[in-house]
Structure 1
Amino acid sequence: MYYFVKVAQKEHVTQAAEEMHVAQSAVSRQIHQLEEELGVKLFLQKGRNLQLTPVGQLFLKRAEAILKELEKAVQEIQEFIDPELGEIRIGFPHSLGIHLIPSVVAAFRKLHPNVKFRFKQGMYPSLIRDVINGEIDLAFISPYPEKCEQVTGEILLTEELAAILPPNHRLANEEEIHLSELKDDTFVLFSQGYSLRPIVWDACVQAGFSPSIGFEGEETDTIRGLVAAGMGVSLLPEMALRHTSELQPVSVRIAEPKVTRTVGLIRRVDEKLPRVAETFQRFLLEYFKDHTTK
């Protein structure tokens, strides 16, 4: 079944065999035996590649689900023997990967040095989808999804967004500004699909204007660099401004309206987490409780 899934993913026996470090003949033999046992053709030859038949596509969905459950069962046994040797599969958006993720993982590994992490970076919709599909155990996400019935979790923190301006901007020396003072400026925003974009857009609308978008980017470093180079203005969360670089924009607090984002931790509804992931979840709740009250 494992060979079948790998061949289906690669659509090529040779490539699948190379990735699994086994002989091509062994893979072909296993696929043939599986087809004989099921009494159906799972693949059709299409040039040099293989293509799943309709029944092969149906079987692939079940096979992937079965292998995921098997992997989970093996992990549970390993954790039962020693929960300190488990692995945590965790997702996060790019904006949290610069400072927050390294900080909390480093703090956790001081207490549990043998626990492994498998990281998956993604955009807001894909992180929710990966949690629902069981691709990851937990996901840091921002903003926290209030209306998704298939996931549950907790808000870990709420942080303010600040205006970032070029060093020579007319408001660069102000301690705080009203967002409406930027209505005539060009904005550098995240691309469509990134959760910070609607937060910034909605804040501008609340301040009485629709932002004029001059540039779009997909990473906080890109946004900061473009602003520092004088390409426009933007809004970024506090934690995204802790990292410094050669091109550094000016950060100014926004007095009105107050612009914030929530950062949460989500998991699947009615799904028991692996013991090691439960331990990490409890650690995070205490970690952010301590760090937000100090």
Structure 2
Amino acid sequence: MELRQLYYFVRVAKKEHVTQAAEELHVAQSAVSRQIHQLEEELGVKLFVQKGRNLQLTPVGTLFLKRAEVILADLERAVIEIHEFLDPEKGEIRLGFPHSLGISLIPQVVASFRKHHPNVKFRFRQGMYPSLIRDLIKGDIDLAFISPFPKEHEQVCGEVLLTEELYAILPPGHPLSKEEQIKLSQLKDETFVLFSEGYSLRPIVWDACLQAGFEPNIGFEGEETDTIRGLVAAGMGVSLLPELALHHTGPLQPAKVRISEPSVTRTIGLIRRSNEKLPLVAKVFHGFLVRYFQEKMEE
């Protein structure tokens, strides 16, 4: 069995199509088909069945895919570790984070780190809370910013870096837009613009509204902080967003008002796989992040 066969098999399994896999691999379709056929002969099983124009994994193919992905991920980590051993300053950091941190926080910390480690490369992956946990456990990323911080999880561990306040955001002409602070209950009759199901900010806002004595009337849902902010600025409703999601300039901006009651916050943490050493360059970045946020809290 050759590693090339595993690479080809995983690509075909993901694409469910030999031609598309071949295009992604930049090889001839016949070469991919030949390697898959040889792999099946060596294993003595059928890994795929034809379903229309696509290929579908057989039950044994699905089982083999899980093992193949682990093998290739371990190989990739081994190659990275060798490169880091030869020169840690030329390693690669695989970092995951939610969309709401991509506006200002991630660019700031990466730029600050690269001032001292200019040759380190980054591979980013954005995602929702469940997908970040899943990608970390699978080994697709080595570190992930996450919110809220998972209190207990057998397969991941980490530390809280920051506790961030959420603000009410209102259309610029809203009667409460000039107030220094408001009670969340003052928005009970408003239409809310919230994140879609699956985004971690949604339950934080929902629970805060319940704590304030009302259930929010949802008029619009979105999947990006830019969308939420833009809809509110356009007068479509009100919402709550963390301060890091409000660092934006432009002609159309919502009003930002502090909430005095109840206190609405979110935790931002940094997680990694439990019982597994970080690659050297990721360990250096991890230490940098812990110091970076400690210094920010002391300012």
**Is the aligned partner of 1:173 residue 2:178?**
yes
How many positions carry a matched residue from both structures?
294
State which of 221, 229, 232 in structure 2 corresponds to 1:227.
232
Q: How far apart are residue 41 of structure 1 and its match?
A: 2.5
For residues 222 and 17 of structure 2, the distance between their equivalents in structure 1, rounded to whole angstroms, comes to 36
Structure 2 counterpart of 1:287, one-letter code: Y
Q: Match of 1:270, SS?
A: coil
Partner of residue 50, structure 2:
45
Q: What is the match of residue 14 of structure 1?
A: 19
Deviation sequence 1:134-154 (CA, Å, 0-9, x none)? 111111011111122221101
1:105-141 residue CA offsets vs partner (Å, 9 max, x unmatched): 0111111111111111101111111111211111101
| Equivalent residue, structure 1, for 2:286 | 281
The match for 1:125 is 130
Q: 1:25 to 1:212 in 2, by over 3 A?
A: closer
CA drift at 1:287: 0.6
State the identity %.
Answer: 78
> RMSD of aligned C-alpha atoms?
1.4
1: distance between equivalents of 2:17 and 2:188? 55
1:202 aligns with 2:222: no
TM-score when scaled to structure 1? 0.96
Tell me what 2:165 maps to. Answer: 160
Maintained 8 Å contact 2:103/2:247: no
Deviation at 1:245, TM superposition (A): 2.0
Q: Which amino acid letter does the alignment assign opposite residue 246 of structure 1?
A: P
1:217: Cα distance to partner?
1.3
Q: Work out the CA distance in 2 between the residues paired with 1:83 and 1:68.
A: 20
Return the alpha-carbon distance in structure 1 between the equivalents of residues 44 and 72 of structure 2.
21
1:253 is matched with 258
Deviations 1:7-58 (A, max 9, x none): 2222232322222122233222222222222222223334443333332222
Comparing 56-65 and 103-112, the one that deviates more: 56-65
Q: 1:141 aligns with which of 137, 140, 146?
A: 146
Partner of 1:55: 60
Cα separation, 1, equivalents of 2:119 and 2:9 = 33
Amino acid at match of 1:53: T
Gaps of 5+ in 1: none
Report the residue type matching 1:224 in the other structure: R
Structure 2 CA distance, aligned partners of 1:166 and 1:218? 19
Deviations for 1:225-284, whole angstroms, at most 9, x for unmatched residues? Answer: 111111111111111112122211111111111111111101111111100110110000
Name segments (4+ residues, structure 1) moved above 4 Å.
Answer: none
Asked whether 1:107 is paired with 2:112, we answer yes
SS in 2 for 1:209: coil
Q: Does the alignment pair 1:73 with 2:78?
A: yes
Aligned partners of 1:52, 1:249: CA distance in 2, in Å? Answer: 49
Whole-Å separation in 1 of the counterparts to 2:125 and 2:53: 32
